[in-house]
Amino acid sequence: MTTELIRQLRRRRTLLGLVGTAAVPVLIAVAFVVTGGGNGGDDGGGDPTGLFQFATASGLNFALVSVAAMSPFLLLTVIALFTGDTVSSEASWGSLRYLLTRPVPRSRLLRRKLAVGVVLSLLAVALVPVSGAVAGTVAFGWGGVQTPFGSLTPDVAIVRLVGITAYVAWTAAWVAALAFLLSTVTDAPVGAVAGTIVITIVVQILDAITALGAVREWLPTHESVAWIALLATPPRPGDLTRGLLLQIPYVAVLLTAAFWRFRRKDILS
pLDDT single digits (tens) 25-43: 999 999 999 987 665 555 5
Residue 28 CA to residue 11 CA, distance in Å, equals: 26
pLDDT value of residue 9: 84
What residues in the chain have per-residue pLDDT under 70?
A: 37-46, 90-104, 265-269
For the chain, the domain total comes to 1
- Assigned domain for 20 exists: yes
pLDDT value of residue 175: 97
Amino acid letter at 177? A
Q: Smallest Cα–Cα separation from 150: which of 50, 240, 37, 38?
A: 50
Question: Which three-class secondary structure string do you get for 223-255?
Answer: CCCHHHHHHCCCCCHHHHHHHHHHHHHHHHHHH
- Assigned domain for 43 exists: no
pLDDT value of residue 104: 63
- Assigned domain for 54 exists: yes
- Contact between residue 62 and residue 163 where contact means Cβ atoms under 8 Å apart: no
- Assigned domain for 219 exists: yes
How many beta carbons lie within 10 A of that of residue 41, not counting itself?
Answer: 10
Residue 142 CA to residue 124 CA, distance in Å, equals: 24
pLDDT value of residue 98: 52
Amino acid letter at 10? R
Q: Any idea what DSSP says for residue 150?
A: E
- Assigned domain for 206 exists: yes
- Assigned domain for 41 exists: no
pLDDT value of residue 90: 66
In our burial notation (b when 16+ CB lie closer than 10 A, e otherwise), range 116-148 reads: bbbbbbbbbbbbbbebbbbbbbebbeebbbbbe
- Assigned domain for 239 exists: yes
- Assigned domain for 178 exists: yes
pLDDT value of residue 248: 96
For residue 152, which phi and psi values (nearest 5 degrees)? -130, 140
- Give residue 150's domain range: 2-36+49-263
